[in-house]
């Protein structure tokens, strides 16, 4: 799955956006099966980026929100923060500053709860 994600990134760099999106989505599924939150987050980053390249950041936002729900149930706070940051950035790209701020504040609260001053 890690190699698939690397291939997906390369496909984006080669402007093969649809292929990169499919490869990253396949990698996300494998990481999900492996219960690897870190891998899921890395694949999701590629998926969100691919949707931005396709001028469809709302689709990336939808994918991030879907994965956020899954990561919340797993209890992985670091993964939750990473996805919230992606959500905040996606909202900013969509010119939705209040939603971006809300997601960023949620991430800051989790960092504070973890005692991670640098992340805040």
Domain ranges of the chain: 2-114
Q: Report pLDDT digits (tens) over 26-54.
A: 999 999 999 898 999 999 999 999 999 99
pLDDT in tens, the chain (120 residues): 999 999 999 999 999 999 999 999 999 999 999 989 899 999 999 999 999 999 999 999 999 999 998 898 888 899 999 999 999 999 999 999 999 999 999 999 998 888 756 555
Long-range contacts of 65-74 (CB under 8 A, 24+ apart): 67/28, 67/40, 67/41, 70/32, 70/40, 71/37, 71/40, 71/41, 74/35, 74/37
Buried b / exposed e over 31-44, threshold 16 CB at 10 Å, is bbeeebbebbbbbb
CATH topology for 2-114 is 1.25.40
């Amino acid at each position: 799955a890690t190699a698939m994600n690397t291939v997906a990134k390369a496909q984006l760099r080669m402007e093969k956006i649809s292929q990169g999106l499919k490869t990253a989505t396949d990698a996300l599924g494998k990481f999900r099966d492996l219960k690897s939150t870190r891998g899921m987050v890395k694949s999701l980053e590629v998926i969100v980026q691919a949707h931005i390249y396709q001028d469809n950041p709302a689709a990336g936002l939808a994918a991030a929100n879907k994965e956020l729900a899954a990561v919340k149930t797993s209890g992985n706070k670091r993964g939750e923060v990473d996805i919230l940051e992606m959500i905040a950035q996606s909202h900013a790209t969509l010119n939705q500053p209040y939603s971006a701020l809300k997601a960023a504040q949620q991430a800051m609260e989790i960092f504070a709860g973890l005692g991670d001053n640098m992340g805040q």
